Amino acid sequence: MRLLSAIFAVLIVAAPATAQRFPTEGFADLAEELSPAVVNISAAQRIGAEDSGLPDFPEGSPLERFNELFGDAPRIANSLGSGFIIDPEGIVVTNNHVIDEADEVEVTLSDGRTFPADFIGRDPATDLAVLRIQSSEPFPYVEFGNSDNARVGDWVIAIGNPFGLGGSLTAGVISARGREIGGRYDDYIQTDVAINRGNSGGPLFNLDGDVVAVNTAIYSPTGASVGISFSIPSNLARHIVDQLLEYGETRRGWLGVSVQPVTSGMAPALGLTAPRGAIISRVEDGGPAAEAGIETGDLILRFDGREVPDSRSLPRMVAETDVGREVVIALRRRGENMTLRATVERLVEAGAPAAPTRRASPAPQQTSETILGLTLAPLDDASRRRYRVHPDASGVLVTAVDPESDAAGKVRPGDVIEEVAWSPVASITEIRNVVDAASGSGEILLVLNRNGQFVLQSVRP
């Protein structure tokens, strides 16, 4: 099972949308109904002698004969996990880390029958994998539910194979949603269901018997359950599983942008009452976004008819969009609302980010000045070398930041100010004029070039 932070491993949960009461009669009926479709997974990897870690005894040693005995035979490394059948034809869902690098996988049902499994596809980005087992008789199976209906406080149950003990049931409630633990597409459901090593890949059921999540990881300083576990929502899992079944691989959408979050300080300057949306920090040359006319600094508010609540949501929305689909994107650019159309392309691999258009450098100036707590200097060849400024940056250089100013922690020495309040600036004088004109209007937006990356920050005068 995978470990995260202090010891992460298997995980977690989801539930229904309507109000639930404590199940006074327990979970026995659900356990009896659902357990036959939950399976134990044993993955074996053959390890060559050179990878075994066993000693190679020297020639002439009394133990030399053991080299032949131990050295040539491959060893077997086993891992145990859980999974569940979603189709009577024998389609099994589990975690990728359960079967990763395995040479052989066996699936054992609750009635003791064991079947060799074939690999259908895997997706390391979401830690999902699909297997197939075969029999002349249909298999028991369960179905995915709608994880969007799962609410904090809903009852859920996990059935799996903790520590290789076989089918075990634990119960609890959903304790949080939308958790991020380091992955690009993270949107985990958190529960307090007891999940341990070996539960990875197992289902998380609501009280209707629907799979609302796939147990994937736990947070634990001890390696055992401490009541914090994470699982992949069923709506995300179902999308990935469908693609693996159809193509044997995932086919994610690609827009060709990088994004940064909207902070509480930026929101008023962007005309928002609260942080929402995603700010475009980079547009890849030749990508769908560039073709659609999207620019750095644009604030994306809606994508394909859906609200964009934060910067983490937009990459997931794009990735889940069908390749070739034309989408409508609602955005705000320098205070003006507009709508653009883009055709989502297939994500093949992360490409090198496109460089922003380079503006002409200003004539050298000989003075520096402090504005907004920032010590500013002209950007010339000497300062470019000293601060290792990106060759595509143009504007005014920040050489120091007053630790008592609001800019501290937001702006860094070596940053290049390219725009102030959405106005391009090429000199200290231009920055002073824009700041003076904006005084009294609250926080002032700065567009920075930081090592070739677009960064948007808001600073109080």
Radius of gyration, alpha carbons of the chain: 28
Query: Is the sign of the CA dihedral 160, 164, 167, 168 positive or negative?
Result: negative
**Does 127 qualify as catalytic in the annotation?**
yes
Q: Is 242 helix (H, G, I), strand (E, B) or coil?
A: helix
**Active-site hit among 168, 200, 220, 281:** 200
| Residue that the structure tokens 């002209």 belong to | 378
**Active-site hit among 123, 127, 192, 415:** 127
Angle CA(350)–CA(322)–CA(2) in degrees, nearest 5? 55
**Does 97 qualify as catalytic in the annotation?**
yes
Q: Is 169 left (phi over 0), alpha (psi -120 to 50) or beta?
A: beta
Query: Is the sign of the CA dihedral 358, 366, 372, 437 positive or negative?
Result: negative
Q: How many CB atoms lie within 10 A of CB 270?
A: 21
**417 in Cβ contact with 446 (< 8 Å):** yes
Tokens (6 digits) for 312: 């983490």
* Residue 127 vs residues 2, 183, 403: alpha-carbon distances, Å: 10, 10, 43
**Active-site hit among 97, 123, 168, 239:** 97
**Does 135 qualify as catalytic in the annotation?**
no
| Residue that the structure tokens 């050179």 belong to | 50
H/E run at residue 319: helix 313-319
| Residue that the structure tokens 């099994």 belong to | 92
- Active site positions, annotated: 97, 127, 200
